[in-house]
Amino acid sequence: MAEQRTVAMRADAQLNRERILAVAYEAFAEDPRVSMNAIAKRAGVGAGTLYRHFPTREDLVLAVYQQEVQTLVEAVDGILDENPPLDALRVWFLRLAAFVRVKHGLGEALQTATAQDVVNSTAAPVMQAIRTLLQACEDVGEVRPGLDPADVLQLMGFLWTVAPGNDGEEQARRVLELAIRGLK
């Protein structure tokens, strides 16, 4: 009986953690200065639960960052299954841009040495995701062969500098089309 309770508590704790991370991502997107207590309240957990999972604000920021990068990287196959390769490239880079805009809002929290280690550890999976998308595009003749994922990432960097809102999103789509023409 005690064993079942432990498993249920672990599942409950995992659900709390997932809820906190989801709420924190949204909260940081809205206001990078949002308090930990406000995040706990929005997640429907007590401050103690939040701090048990994430003892510091930096711990929470890094967990949100890692989860979002992982989600983005893992989405590549599904996006390719649902879209032609060039459309998949568009969809994925627009998602990356939305994430990076939130990341920039986290500012100082991602500037510590510990944070830089985490950020640096996500570079390889992001490059692999881009490589996968480019290879799919290359296989159907949509982009020229031999494109370097790091170059393409650098080129697409404009996406996270556009203004927020509908006008910025429209500009991002227009300029994305110009960039994609350069990949052909």
The tens place of each residue's pLDDT in the chain, 184 residues long, gives 444 444 445 788 889 999 999 999 888 888 878 899 999 999 999 999 999 999 998 889 889 888 989 999 999 999 999 999 999 999 999 998 888 766 655 555 566 667 778 878 888 999 999 999 999 999 999 999 999 999 999 999 888 788 878 898 899 899 999 999 999 9
In the prediction, which pLDDT does 87 show?
Answer: 97
Report how far residue 138's alpha carbon sits from residue 140's, in angstroms, rounded to the nearest whole number. Answer: 5
- 37: tokens are 């207590």
In the prediction, which pLDDT does 62 show?
Answer: 87
Cα angle, residue 111 at apex, residues 108 and 114 outer, rounded to 5°: 125
In the prediction, which pLDDT does 80 show?
Answer: 98
Report how far residue 82's alpha carbon sits from residue 67's, in angstroms, rounded to the nearest whole number. Answer: 22
Report how far residue 39's alpha carbon sits from residue 50's, in angstroms, rounded to the nearest whole number. Answer: 8
Q: How many helices (H) and strands (E) does the chain have?
A: 9, 0
pTM of the model: 0.79
Q: Is 114 helix (H, G, I), strand (E, B) or coil?
A: helix
